[in-house]
Structure 1
Amino acid sequence: MELFWFIPTYGDGRYIGTDKGARITTTSYYKQVAMAAEDLGYSGVLLPTGRSCEDSWVMASMLASATRRLKFLVAVRPGLMTPTLAARMCSSFDRHSAGRLLINVVAGGDPAELEAEGLFLSHDERYALTEEFLHIWQRLLHQEEVTFEGQYLKVKKAHNFYPVQQLPHPPVFFGGSSPAAMEVAGQYADVFLTWGEPPEQVKEKLAAMRAAAAARGRTLRFGIRLHIIVRETAEEAWQAASNLIRHLDDETIAKAQQIYARMDSHGQQRMTALHGGKRSELEISPNLWAGIGLVRGGAGTALVGDPATVAKRLEEYRQLGIETFILSGYPHLEEAYRVAELLFPLLPLSVKQEQSSASQGEIVAYHYKPI
């Protein structure tokens, strides 16, 4: 298993859907989260993208200088940036971070937000544009001169002068549940991402993606995006889940669900269908809780339970073929520690905790190391 954490650049706190217990999110705080993730042994961090977030490239650049090993999963946005600009950004970041860049391809799922940004394309058109974008972007990073004229994009004698450190290009992560998304992912993704759906749904999606890649003579790796609520006992964990939404009122839920209803993202539609905007039955699969998705777009499910149970559920996803687990919890600084302390010892990690050899509890009576 490879475990990533999350940088909450659109806000953080002890509760969701309220400003009660909200965290002051500054560069200093984001650095604390990133440095904790590195010290604890997470392989990398995901930075979210969209108009509700701090810019992911700017923030990742700031955080890279505060870390040594941590990788940064940062979004390229076809239609909102050109492939030539994206190639230059990738080259600069990858070289100056010593090869710590990972690329998250995001075609967008909210037509209203995209129109506000100046992009007026239908769902499938965005993925057609994404395919042209990645064709140009990839060739540029391979140090080719590119002349291309497609339906959406056109470049003439484009060249990327500065090479990336990771050859032939930084790994490409790609999520999408629609046939159009899977078509493009089958050709260009290195790691296909899914949100935290029940295992049977994930199994079905991964099978479809394996077939899409095989049709192009390719193979893929797989990742999943999940929240984690783990405590020493199951009772404490479920109480923590309940506390997370304790200040969430029905009006706030209704407003959020109206926004999700307008989205053309198949993944968001699948997430919303798991709970239907209702509080009544939020455990949608053993220990898989959809309460976060009542007001949070994108990844809306959390694994809830004691360490042994949560580790077992993660192993079930691993058996399906998931290798990379992008995790998060509220607040993100404290939960990064809690997940590492309670879960890491039970998981077959690809990166061992750097902190483990140096960690110790408080000296007993000023004389004895704790056992």
Structure 2
Amino acid sequence: MPVEIIGMISTHDVSETRPATGPVVDVEYTRSFARAHEQAGFDRILIAQSSASPDPNQVAAFAAANTERLGLLIAHRPGFLAPTVAARTFATLDQFSGGRVAVHIITGGHDAEQRRDGDYLSKDERYARTDDYLTVVKKAWTEHAPFDHDGPYYRLADFHSEVRPVQQPRIPVYFGGSSDAAYRVGGKHADTFALWGEPLAETAEQIARVRAAAEAAGRETAPGISVSFRPILGRTDEEAWERAHRILGTIEQRGDAFGGRRAVLPVGPGATPQNVGSQRLLAAAAKGDRHDRALWTAPAKATGAAGNSTALVGSPETVAQALLDYVDIGATTLLIRGYDPLDDALDYGRELLPLVRAEVARRDAAAAAGPVPATAGAR
């Protein structure tokens, strides 16, 4: 089965190692960044969301208008739009983009960040609201007759939408989180459940919990699994590690100067993040900097695990095999982004994605052929 590969764009040039340049909405940079991912062969791009960043729906619409086939994964926080409005918004963009939209549901793991947009619910209440929200959104995409809904957070009467997604039966739903509530709600609703890049054993444990939650929700098919990394490539493993340590030095030198997520989340060494995903990354880092084939957790430690911040370090061949290790334990989607965002996306397209896709295709062909009979080739 082919593996989906997702990148990530922003609207200006900035990362943990690069001071922001240009305006917050740099039109030419955003256009080039989206087109770079299409040129590199990514399946989708993630457009993130925060209380301070440009609206991801508008960014996605702009990216769609400037690409031809690239999928769009739009981060979305339930609770700030009515679910019926959100359903029509995404269905409309799915029509204009020719069926390229997916939605990444971020319930919100930081009380302070939620309050910046006026949301004062507790974390458990937010997940309960997300459950109710997604129930309405999915019905809005799929019900052909007007319907009523009387849930704990949303109540509507005689709702009907004339705009339907191009994709049938509906737009794909991705879901992020690592708490018990996230497993429960994501296990019920997600088409793909998104995890940050932990060591293989811990990732396998999370996959098992997602699958158990899906089964408990009565689903016959478990969600796909996405894992996220920051690949650091070199011509050789040694060269990649030299580059990795230069990157870490820059991160440590900049401290909390990075904008973006650092503007809204606790960051840096010693920070205590509220969300479980960041806590898990820091727990892995506390066990050691290097894990498995190529996983490096030092960047997570240096940033307080503000976002997906663990790296895979090595030659393209080493990193490709490390990504495939996660495919072997159940990952169906790989989300990768670099510290030199635009240039790294192009490098991944030249050096990394072809290796991953070729090996997945080889495995699929071998599986389709079936086992070779013991007498095959005998004379």
Please say whether Structure 1 and Structure 2 have the same fold, judged by a TM-score greater than 0.5: yes
What TM-score do you get using the length of structure 1 for normalisation? 0.86
CA contact (8 A) 1:5 1:37 kept: yes
| Residue matched to 1:244 | 247
SS of residue in 2 equivalent to 1:321: coil
2:272 equivalent to 1:261: yes
2:5 to 3, 6, 9: 3
> Measured at CA, do residues 259 and 95 of structure 1 come closer, stay the same or move farther in structure 2, by a change above 3 Å?
farther
Q: Which amino acid aligns with 1:98?
A: G
Q: Give the drift of 1:228.
A: 0.8
Aligned-residue sequence identity (percent) comes to: 32
What TM-score do you get using the length of structure 2 for normalisation? 0.84
Q: Which amino acid aligns with 2:50?
A: G
Q: Which runs of 5+ in 1 are unaligned?
A: 353-371
Q: Give the drift of 1:257.
A: 4.0
| Residue matched to 1:166 | 167
> Measured at CA, do residues 351 and 211 of structure 1 come closer, stay the same or move farther in structure 2, by a change above 3 Å?
closer
CA distance in 2, matches of 1:115, 1:194: 24
2:289 equivalent to 1:282: yes
> Measured at CA, do residues 118 and 349 of structure 1 come closer, stay the same or move farther in structure 2, by a change above 3 Å?
farther
| Residue matched to 1:317 | 326
CA distance in 1, matches of 2:294, 2:335: 17
| Residue matched to 2:316 | 307
CA distance in 1, matches of 2:252, 2:78: 36
> Measured at CA, do residues 8 and 281 of structure 1 come closer, stay the same or move farther in structure 2, by a change above 3 Å?
farther
Instruction: Please tell me the root mean square deviation across aligned C-alpha atoms, in Å.
Output: 2.4
| Residue matched to 2:298 | 291
CA distance in 2, matches of 1:262, 1:341: 36
For residues 188-227 of structure 1, the aligned pairs below 5 Å read: 188-215=189-216, 216-219=218-221, 220-227=223-230
| Residue matched to 2:262 | none
> Measured at CA, do residues 242 and 132 of structure 1 come closer, stay the same or move farther in structure 2, by a change above 3 Å?
same
Q: Which runs of 5+ in 2 are unaligned?
A: 258-265, 362-379
> What do residues 209-240 of structure 1 show as CA deviations (whole Å, max 9, x unaligned)?
11221231332211111111111111221121
> Measured at CA, do residues 329 and 175 of structure 1 come closer, stay the same or move farther in structure 2, by a change above 3 Å?
same
> Measured at CA, do residues 50 and 259 of structure 1 come closer, stay the same or move farther in structure 2, by a change above 3 Å?
farther
SS of residue in 1 equivalent to 2:93: helix
For residues 1-371 of structure 1, the aligned pairs below 5 Å read: 1-9=3-11, 11-13=13-15, 16=17, 19=19, 22-24=20-22, 26-143=26-143, 144-215=145-216, 216-219=218-221, 220-249=223-252, 252=255, 256-257=267-268, 261-263=272-274, 265-275=275-285, 281-293=288-300, 294-295=302-303, 297-348=306-357
CA distance in 2, matches of 1:45, 1:262: 26
CA contact (8 A) 2:273 2:279 kept: no
Q: Which amino acid aligns with 1:156?
A: A
CA contact (8 A) 2:194 2:225 kept: yes
Q: Give the drift of 1:114.
A: 0.6
Q: How many residues align?
A: 344
CA contact (8 A) 2:71 2:102 kept: yes
Q: Give the drift of 1:167.
A: 1.2
Q: Give the drift of 1:136.
A: 0.7
CA distance in 1, matches of 2:78, 2:334: 25
CA contact (8 A) 2:99 2:166 kept: yes
| Residue matched to 1:367 | none
CA distance in 2, matches of 1:68, 1:173: 22
CA distance in 2, matches of 1:132, 1:253: 37
Q: Give the drift of 1:48.
A: 0.9
